[in-house]
Structure 1
Amino acid sequence: MTKEQTIYDSAWKYILDQFFPSFIRFFFPEIYDEIDWERGHEFLDKEFQKIVRAAKTGKRYVDKLIKIFLKTGEETWVLFHVEAQAQPDLNLPERMYIYNSLIYLRYRRKTMSIAILGDNNPNWRPTHFEYTIGSTRVSLQFSMVKLLDIKTRFETEKQSKNPFHFFVEAHLRTLETRKNYRRRSEWKFEITKRMIQQGMDQGTVDALFQFIDYLMVLPEHLEEEFMEKIDQLKEEENMPFVAPYEKIIMKRGVKQGLEQGSLREARDAVFDILNTRFMEIPYSINESIQKMDNVSRLRELRKLAITTPSLDEFKQMLKS
């Protein structure tokens, strides 16, 4: 897997986890209206990993198996596949069929299968898998959304507050500017400016920016220019938006320590983010973090420190 592919895939995986209802509302408003959101939704990661191992498809993909409840009371499973790369995957239809079949075979669950295609080939639009042998025919029809088709919505839905409006535009602009980082920097600023002017809650803005910032990679000199423009914009319009915490941490060398598995650096990463965002950390939170000796858990808390809207919510998650 290339570094670029890893960036695309990771960004999509995390934003799906963070903003799943917004994802459905943006891409499938008709399905959104049929779901009983008060009953919540559940990511079936463990169940899906058993399917992935059984499928033996080789590569890892951005696939999510999610349990939802319809307003009729029926429990439904939905398989989402996001093909985030510019290169179409010709094996996609077969894999969709294999996954759907194995889910039914193992769990006896009826599953909606949906593919989100982020490539730049307007003619690649798979919606079914089929084979025939003798008098037997086997087939699967699945839903498909092409990100290229959504470009027109950026103009007609300028007032949208849906996080995926901004994220999908960032995805497509990143593909467009693979060989033009100057133009990418301009798009990154334009998207970020519109995002923070839309009046979304601070937690959503902060979390969404992390995904866009991770996706729209810039050379160091252009990144510095971008951050200076954001700082200037904040002063001109009195915006509450805070510079990306991840970059603050990276500049202090904390990220390197975290990746090396250092408990001390992992704790410091959490403290630095909390201090940057909330200025003062209560003693109870400080003590709880100091007692932790699990780097993986500290990594999770680091993400929460970036995205949580308040210290109270962070404290609740700290207890869970």
Structure 2
Amino acid sequence: MPHATTDAKAMPASAGTGAEPSDLDGHWKDALEHYVEPCLRLFWPALHAHMDWTARPVFRDKELQRLAGASRRGRRYVDKLVELRLRTGVKALLLIHIEVQARLDAAFLSRMYTYHYRLRDRHPEQDIVHLGILTRSRAGPSRLAYRLAPLGGGFGYLEFVFPVVHLAGWRTRREALRDLARDNPFAVMVLVELDASDTLARAPRARLQRKVALMRLLYDYGYGEADVQRLFRFIDGVLALPAPESLAFTEAVARLEGEFDVSYVTSVERVGIEKGLAIGRAKGREEGREEGRTAGLRQALTELLVRRFGPLPDAAAARVSAASAAELQRALGRVLEADTLEQVLSR
């Protein structure tokens, strides 16, 4: 049997790691579906220059699910497989893998290599690019390698090298990030992650101040309604707050929207979500914390769906009833943007 080694050692946990959100997979997944282009523009500009951005990216989620095989619940990473067109007209596959943990371990490198050989087997003639984003590790090398060295490598070895970005490396470049955020929403997402690492759950007031400052940034820079709503969901999800500070954040956003004379967030979406969370907290006191929270989210989603699409078919009502809290949160985030009921309930 070949022996797997790596040239990247596990990194120590960052001392500044804050509380983790309940649905990090969903927050990053939803954001990446809209912000692949600004992601490459920020982190890998040379690769970005190779792409023809007049061609719409095609996401290959079903193929990626087949490649992943095992259950994706409870993961600490997010991945997106997207087909892009090069400026030469040739199509290429891009795998973006986001690792959400404080330590870089061999399993991350192994996963990247496993994806590579499975994709190569299915697409032998296609260019395949693998990119890694490490959100909570300390700053490290810009390239990592997975090495297979049977019998110590004396009779041959295989080395798979791919580029990575450590978000911690941007911690000393916050001002540059703020400038880039004027026209790059992915820079906003990096600022959010840095603030999540810096602010601990036991310091909710500091986290509240960061959240409000990030929202002000969006309005100051003139982001449009769709971007504000998407980034609001990311900010609100990643920088989670306890109930009192969450309510204060909602009120602060309402004041900001009054100041800038817009109503992007203080709309039916936010009102519905807040209503669901309030119901969830009340039910939680009666039935148990998690069960009550899920019930509140389910009721809020049902009311919003009926308001938007009319009475729910039995099949749709059954899907809402069977959904987990994380799935209900994602569906709530899609209510305004979706054109059909199926788009809201897709998993």
Q: What is the TM-score of this pair, normalised by structure 2?
A: 0.73
Alignment of 1:162-201 (within 5 A): 162-178=184-200, 179-201=202-224
Q: Is the 8 A contact 1:41 1:67 kept in 2?
A: yes
- Residue 213 of structure 1 and its aligned partner are, at CA, apart by 0.4
Work out the CA distance in 2 between the residues paired with 1:258 and 1:269: 17
Does the residue aligned with 1:39 lie in a helix, a strand or coil? coil
1:278 corresponding residue in structure 2: none
Residue of 140, 164, 183 corresponding to 1:161: 183
Q: Is the 8 A contact 2:76 2:99 kept in 1?
A: no
Alignment of 1:226-241 (within 5 A): 226-241=249-264
2:251 equivalent to 1:224 = no
Q: Is the 8 A contact 1:82 1:115 kept in 2?
A: yes
Q: Is the 8 A contact 1:115 1:143 kept in 2?
A: yes
Does the residue aligned with 2:50 lie in a helix, a strand or coil? coil
2:268 equivalent to 1:268 = no
- Residue 259 of structure 1 and its aligned partner are, at CA, apart by 5.0
Does the residue aligned with 1:115 lie in a helix, a strand or coil? strand
Work out the CA distance in 2 between the residues paired with 1:251 and 1:205: 23
RMSD across aligned positions (CA): 3.5
Q: Is the 8 A contact 1:257 1:266 kept in 2?
A: no
Larger deviation, residues 263-272 vs 124-133: 263-272
1:26 corresponding residue in structure 2: 42
Q: Is the 8 A contact 1:249 1:269 kept in 2?
A: no
Does the residue aligned with 1:187 lie in a helix, a strand or coil? helix
- Residue 32 of structure 1 and its aligned partner are, at CA, apart by 2.1
- Residue 64 of structure 1 and its aligned partner are, at CA, apart by 1.4
Residue of 157, 160, 168 corresponding to 1:148: 168
Residue of 1, 6, 9 corresponding to 2:25: 9
1:134 corresponding residue in structure 2: 154
Give unmatched runs, 5+ long, in structure 1: 275-284
Does the residue aligned with 2:103 lie in a helix, a strand or coil? coil
1:282 corresponding residue in structure 2: none
* Residue type at the aligned position of 1:174: A
* Residue type at the aligned position of 1:165: A
Residue of 256, 265, 270 corresponding to 1:242: 265
* Residue type at the aligned position of 2:334: L
Work out the CA distance in 1 between the residues paired with 2:70 and 2:127: 18
Q: Evaluate the alpha carbon distance shift between residue 185 and residue 230 of structure 1 in structure 2; reply closer, same or farther with a 3 A threshold.
A: same
* Residue type at the aligned position of 1:231: A
Work out the CA distance in 1 between the residues paired with 2:38 and 2:297: 36
* Residue type at the aligned position of 2:174: F
Q: Deviation digits for residues 294-316 of structure 1, max 9, x if unmatched?
A: 248776874432346xxxx6699
1:251 corresponding residue in structure 2: 278
- Residue 60 of structure 1 and its aligned partner are, at CA, apart by 6.3
Work out the CA distance in 2 between the residues paired with 1:141 and 1:302: 39
Q: Evaluate the alpha carbon distance shift between residue 151 and residue 141 of structure 1 in structure 2; reply closer, same or farther with a 3 A threshold.
A: same
Does the residue aligned with 2:84 lie in a helix, a strand or coil? strand
Work out the CA distance in 1 between the residues paired with 2:57 and 2:277: 34
Q: Is the 8 A contact 2:277 2:293 kept in 1?
A: no
Q: Evaluate the alpha carbon distance shift between residue 59 and residue 166 of structure 1 in structure 2; reply closer, same or farther with a 3 A threshold.
A: closer
- Residue 8 of structure 1 and its aligned partner are, at CA, apart by 2.6
- Residue 112 of structure 1 and its aligned partner are, at CA, apart by 0.6
- Residue 169 of structure 1 and its aligned partner are, at CA, apart by 0.8
2:227 corresponding residue in structure 1: 204
Residue of 110, 115, 134 corresponding to 1:94: 110
Work out the CA distance in 2 between the residues paired with 1:195 and 1:262: 27
Work out the CA distance in 2 between the residues paired with 1:134 and 1:202: 59
Does the residue aligned with 1:31 lie in a helix, a strand or coil? helix
Q: Deviation digits for residues 112-151 of structure 1, max 9, x if unmatched?
A: 1110011242247651112333331201110111111223
Q: Evaluate the alpha carbon distance shift between residue 62 and residue 315 of structure 1 in structure 2; reply closer, same or farther with a 3 A threshold.
A: closer
* Sequence identity percentage: 25
Larger deviation, residues 176-185 vs 115-124: 115-124
Q: Evaluate the alpha carbon distance shift between residue 316 and residue 90 of structure 1 in structure 2; reply closer, same or farther with a 3 A threshold.
A: closer
* Residue type at the aligned position of 2:253: I
Q: Is the 8 A contact 1:258 1:266 kept in 2?
A: no
* Residue type at the aligned position of 1:193: R
Q: Evaluate the alpha carbon distance shift between residue 306 and residue 84 of structure 1 in structure 2; reply closer, same or farther with a 3 A threshold.
A: farther
Does the residue aligned with 2:234 lie in a helix, a strand or coil? helix
Does the residue aligned with 1:136 lie in a helix, a strand or coil? coil
Q: Is the 8 A contact 1:65 1:80 kept in 2?
A: yes
1:306 corresponding residue in structure 2: 336
Does the residue aligned with 1:294 lie in a helix, a strand or coil? helix
- Residue 50 of structure 1 and its aligned partner are, at CA, apart by 2.2
- Residue 59 of structure 1 and its aligned partner are, at CA, apart by 5.3
